[in-house]
Structure formats: C-alpha cells, structure tokens
C-alpha cells in the first residue's frame, strides 16, 4: 500500500476522539461496501444466498446513520451511538456478530474521551469477549476467530506499540492472517475452497480504517466478480437510494480482459447498487441510476465490448408493485393474546401464513435477511405484550433473538430454520395460551416436517461427497446439500427418494417466482405417477432463487 507518511505522522500526534472514531467508521464502511461483492462471493454452499457482505454493509451502514450528523467529541459517547445503530440495524448472523463486536468495543472505551494504546487494546478484548458471549455455540474458523486473533495480537503488542495507529496496523495484519487460516479450522471452507466470508468482511472494515489513516483510496475494489447465477437483483431493491430512478442490467462480452478496477470506478460515477457477475465468458452488470443517466452504462459498455442483452426497469414502479404485493389481511390480535410474527421470503407464502393466523410478516429469507429493527418494528405496535417470532431461516435466528432482547414485551423465539418448519409450528398456535407453553409446543411441532429446496448452483464444488457444477440444478434436504440433477423435475423426484418419501403421507410444493403454476402442476403429476398413494399439494410461494420449497410430512 502507498502510504502518505506525512499524513500518518500528523495523525499519530492527534488525539483520537469521537469525531475521529466517526471518520474511521465511515472509512471502514466505505471499504467494506467497495468490496461487498468479494465477501458475498465467499459462499460455502453453491446456493444463491451469498449475502454476508450485504448484511455486514447494511449493519455498519445503520451504525453510520446513527452518528453521521452527530457532533459528539467524547470517544465513549460516540462508540455507544455506533453500537446502538449497529444493534438495531444488524442483519443475518454476520451482521449480528458485527454488532456485538462494536458493542464490546463501546464497552471498552465507554469512559474515555480519547483513544490511547491501552484503551484500544482493551476495546479489542471486550469486542472479542462480547462477540463470543453472543453466540450459543461459537464456531472457530469464522468471524469470531478473526476478532479473537485481532485481540490476541493487540494484547501482545501492548508493551511495544507507541500509539493507537500502530495497534491498528497490528490488528489489520492479524485479521488478514486469521482469515487466511479459517479453512484449516473449518473443514467445510476447505471443501469449498474459500475463506470465511464474515471474517473477510471484518478484515475489510479494519483495513478500510487503516487505508484512511494512510490516505489511500477507498473506492477501488480489490475484488473478483461473482457467478451470474448468484447475483441478488431482487435484494438490490432493498438498497434503492433517493434519486436512483432506473435499474439497468446489461449482459455483455468484453473485447479484451476486463479491468475490474477501472470498470467499477467508471460505474460508480454513474450510480449505485453495482453488481457484476460472470459466467462462461459473459458478464452481467447491474446498476441503479438517476433518470438522466439511464443510458450511460449501456453506452459505456458498448465501448468496451459486445452487448448481448439490455433490461431497463423503472424502480419506482417496481417498488410500488412490491408494496401492493405486501397488502395482506392479517389476523386481529386482542390484548393479552399471543401474536405471531413470521419471516417470509415470498408473497404467496405470506398469504398462507396470514391464513394460519399470523399477526405480521417481515419480508426476508435467503439473500434478504431483515434487520433487528425490521423485526422489532413488526410487533412493537401490536396491541399485545406476548409475541412469538418464527425466523424461518437459520441466518435470521440471531437477529430475532436480538430483537427479543431490546423490547419490553414478552417475546419467545421459536428457532424455525425453514418455511415448512414455520408452517408446521403455526398449526400449534393457541392465541389465548400461555406464552412459554405455546412456544414449547410450536418448537416440538416444527420437528415433524422435512424440508426440501430446489435451486441452481452458483459454483462448481464438491461438498459432503456431492459434486455440483455451476448452473446445475441442486437439491437440499433440511439445509444440507443432497444431490445435483440435470433438471428441476429430476431434482424434485430424486430429492423425495432421498427423503424416504414412501414413509411419508403429504408433500406440499411451494413454487417460486420464476415458475408457473402449470409447470408446478406438471411436476406434481410426475410425483403422483411414481407415488400414487402420496397426497400432493401445490401452492404459490413466490420466493426468489428457489424453484421449489418442499414440505414433506
């Protein structure tokens, strides 16, 4: 890295107060956002849910939003505001752990007006301890290991470091080394040939702070493109900024080798929410731009390659359609009754949950994890103090538990990891029952169902003895990669065999947004032909990325 020595020497002599910490946070956020897709691409399983970078970015963005207009100079007070923003904005497991790291850091500096070596070392230690305490079963080879190694390295440098900048340098180096070692600690990472995504995200936050000290650019990504099949264009709608009126998607073949740094740099002059995917020599570019710039990305790409397909969508119209789809009639809840809040990935599934008696739905699932604040907002204004949350996704359970901790209401989290588990749990709801007892019954009920999922592989990999190729149909059974297939139909039929379908009575196919009801019925007929005694239901799910979510009872 090209270091501005004069700038660094000047900063070393300046006290690091609350405003300095705010500038460091901004730098960490900017560098994380710049490299967000690098983090997203570090997905272990070949399924389209690589959203760690997005979750961490939105979490730190929430922290920044809390302090961006603050003039607080006291270090501890600024850190407390940062922690508060991250806590409420936390999304996904990676975002929740990031918020806990920031919470621990705030504890370590709470009574300090400025930052010195001893305080920074203590803060890293508190960050480590708080993050580990926030996870019921900590797993090494993850973001937890990275913050632990950062704390250890900082503590080891305590006697020799002259200033806080030197401790930050030590921390960045330790984070980098810890990330590189994550595959040795977590076999699934080694199988997939990647490092831990959350740990890499934390590294980028710390490195961004150091790049700010060094006076280096925070806008040019050090990244590789993601697979086209992993691009989360629906999730990009969650990040629509004011003034970004059109969504542009361009498929193209570059005339020569694509210089990602200059490519991203040029696109950043035009708009936001930039994503780039690649598959078999073809690239896909996604961007949000204001009306007057809606043709600029197309013209630019035509100058560097051959454009094969262009899509232009009015974002305001898309957002209006999404809001209309959310207009679902929910069950009325009386004071003293139990209100159930569920996380749902599709409009069809939301309507089904509403018919079963839920009081509110939070939109979310794979690649679109809701924040702690989103979950909290869903039930804070309900006319009862008894709430049960069904996360319906393993990556949302921590955020649900965090929402539970920041409300005065009585809240129970039933740890449903899939939509079918959530639907099974709803059948045990007794609105007038006792909260703990009903939550216990719902927890037991969720175990009676198996969950199948059909999607498209986003990478070529072998995991748990299952080999898959990028673009191939894959099936998951209760969250584990089960098999690869050449068609959706074959994937469904083979998955049911793998699940021991002859021992079950009912299969419900929830088809996704990219599949028609007629096609879903055709596949249901194929299942019936092979298993005539099996009861089969077909329902519109409306979920993105997954052709089918399958309930097996």
Q: What CATH fold (topology level) applies to the domain 326-448?
A: Rossmann fold (3.40.50)
The token pair at 15 is 């006290």
Residues in the chain: 553
Residue range 9-47, pLDDT digits in tens = 777 777 899 999 999 999 999 999 988 888 888 877 777
Residue range 450-499, pLDDT digits in tens = 999 999 988 888 888 889 888 899 999 998 999 999 999 999 999 999 99
Residue range 115-134, pLDDT digits in tens = 999 999 999 999 999 999 98
**Residue 228 in this model has a pLDDT that exceeds 70:** no
User: For residue 317, what pLDDT is reported?
Assistant: 62
The architecture of the domain spanning 450-552 is: 2-Layer Sandwich (3.30)
Other CB atoms closer than 10 Å to residue 16's CB: what's the count? 23
Of the pLDDT bands very low, low, confident and very high (cuts 50, 70, 90), residue 276 is: confident
Of the pLDDT bands very low, low, confident and very high (cuts 50, 70, 90), residue 325 is: very low
User: For residue 240, what pLDDT is reported?
Assistant: 47
Cα separation, 507 vs 452, whole angstroms: 10
**Residue 241 in this model has a pLDDT that exceeds 80:** no
Cα separation, 523 vs 516, whole angstroms: 11
Q: Mean pLDDT throughout 437-458?
A: 94
Residue range 277-317, pLDDT digits in tens = 887 778 988 888 888 898 999 999 999 999 999 988 877 66
Q: What is the DSSP string of 226-295?
A: EEGGG--TTGGGGGPPTT--EEEEEEEEESS---HHHHHHHHHTT-EEEEEEEETTEEEEEEEE-GGGTT
Choice between 55 and 224, residue whose per-residue pLDDT is larger = 55
The token pair at 102 is 């920031």
Cα separation, 484 vs 456, whole angstroms: 9
Domain ranges for the chain: 5-214, 226-320, 326-448, 450-552
Choice between 366 and 546, residue whose per-residue pLDDT is larger = 546
Lookup result for tokens 């007006």: 113
**In the chain, what percentage of residues exceed pLDDT 70?**
92
User: What does pLDDT average to over the chain?
Assistant: 89
CA-based torsion, 239, 403, 78, 133: positive or negative: negative
**Residue 435 in this model has a pLDDT that exceeds 80:** yes
**Residue 367 in this model has a pLDDT that exceeds 60:** yes
Burial class (CB in 10 A: 0-12, 13-18, 19+), 331: middle
Q: What is the DSSP string of 517-549?
A: HHHHHHHHHHHHHH-TTSEEEEEE---SS-SEE
Cα separation, 33 vs 43, whole angstroms: 17
Please choose, from the candidates 95, 98, 71, 94, the residue with its C-alpha nearest in 3D space to the C-alpha of residue 17. Answer: 71
Please determine, looking at this structure, whether the domain spanning 5-214 carries the CATH number 3.30.470.30: no
**Residue 329 in this model has a pLDDT that exceeds 80:** no
What radius of gyration, in Å, describes the C-alpha atoms of the chain? 24
Task: Judge whether 5-214 and 450-552 match in fold.
Answer: no
User: For residue 481, what pLDDT is reported?
Assistant: 92
CA-based torsion, 312, 314, 319, 321: positive or negative: negative
Record the pTM: 0.79
Residue range 406-417, pLDDT digits in tens = 999 999 999 999
Q: What is the CATH number that goes with domain 226-320?
A: 3.30.70.1150
Strand ordering across the sheet containing 338-344: 360-363, 338-344, 386-390, 410-413
Whether 188 contacts 140, CB under 8 Å? no
Other CB atoms closer than 10 Å to residue 303's CB: what's the count? 8
Cα separation, 22 vs 12, whole angstroms: 17
Residue range 41-94, pLDDT digits in tens = 887 777 766 688 889 999 999 999 999 999 999 999 999 999 999 999 999 899
User: For residue 173, what pLDDT is reported?
Assistant: 97
């Amino acid at each position: 890295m090209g270091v501005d020595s004069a700038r660094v020497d000047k900063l070393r002599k300046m006290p690091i107060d609350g405003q300095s910490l705010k500038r460091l946070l901004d730098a960490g956020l900017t560098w994380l956002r710049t490299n967000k897709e690098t983090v997203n691409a570090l997905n272990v399983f070949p399924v389209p849910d690589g959203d760690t970078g997005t979750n961490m970015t939105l979490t730190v963005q929430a922290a920044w939003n809390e302090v961006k207009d603050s003039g607080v100079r006291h270090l501890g007070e600024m850190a407390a505001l940062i922690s508060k923003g991250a806590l409420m904005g936390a999304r996904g497991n990676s975002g929740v752990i990031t918020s806990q790291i920031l919470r621990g850091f705030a504890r370590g500096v709470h009574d300090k007006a400025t930052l010195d070596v001893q305080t920074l070392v203590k803060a890293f230690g508190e960050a480590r301890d708080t993050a580990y305490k926030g996870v019921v079963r900590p797993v090494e080879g993850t973001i937890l290991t990275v913050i632990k190694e950062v704390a250890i390295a900082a503590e080891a440098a305590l006697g020799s470091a002259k200033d806080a900048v030197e401790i930050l340098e030590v921390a960045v180096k330790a984070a980098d080394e810890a990330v590189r070692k994550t595959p040795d600690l977590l076999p699934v990472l080694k199988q997939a040939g990647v490092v831990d995504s959350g740990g890499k995200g934390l590294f980028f936050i710390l490195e961004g702070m150091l790049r700010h000290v060094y006076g280096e650019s925070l806008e040019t990504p050090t990244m590789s493109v993601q697979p086209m099949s992993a691009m989360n264009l629906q999730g990009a709608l969650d990040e629509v900024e004011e003034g970004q009126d059109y969504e542009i998607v361009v498929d193209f073949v570059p005339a020569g080798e694509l210089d990602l740094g200059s490519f991203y740099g040029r696109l950043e002059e035009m708009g936001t929410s930039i994503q780039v995917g690649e598959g078999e020599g073809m690239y896909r570019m996604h961007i949000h731009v204001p009306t007057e710039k809606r043709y600029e990305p197309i013209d630019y790409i035509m100058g560097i390659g051959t454009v094969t397909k262009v899509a232009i969508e009015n974002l305001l119209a898309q957002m209006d359609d999404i809001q209309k789809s959310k207009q679902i009639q929910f069950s009325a809840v009386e004071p003293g009754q139990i209100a159930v809040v569920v996380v749902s990935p599709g409009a069809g599934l939301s309507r089904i949950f509403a018919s079963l008696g839920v009081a509110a739905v939070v939109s979310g699932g794979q690649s679109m994890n809701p924040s702690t604040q989103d979950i909290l907002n869903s039930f804070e204004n309900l006319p009862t103090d008894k709430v049960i949350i069904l996360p319906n996704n393993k990556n949302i359970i921590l955020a649900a538990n965090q929402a539970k901790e920041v409300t005065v209401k009585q809240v129970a989290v039933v740890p449903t990891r899939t939509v079918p588990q959530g639907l099974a749990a709803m059948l045990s709801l007794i609105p007038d029952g006792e909260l703990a007892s009903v939550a216990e019954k719902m927890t037991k009920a969720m175990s009676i169902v198996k969950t199948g999922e059909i999607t498209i592989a986003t990478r070529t990999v072998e995991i748990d003895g299952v080999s898959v190729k990028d673009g191939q149909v894959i099936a998951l059974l209760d969250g584990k990669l089960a098999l690869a297939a050449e068609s959706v139909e074959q994937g469904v039929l083979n998955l049911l065999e793998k699940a021991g379908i002859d021992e079950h009575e009912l299969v419900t196919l929830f088809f996704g947004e990219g599949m028609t009801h007629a096609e879903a019925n055709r596949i249901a007929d194929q299942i019936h032909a092979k298993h005539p005694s099996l009861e089969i239901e077909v329902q519109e799910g409306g979920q993105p990325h997954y052709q089918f979510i399958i309930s097996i009872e």
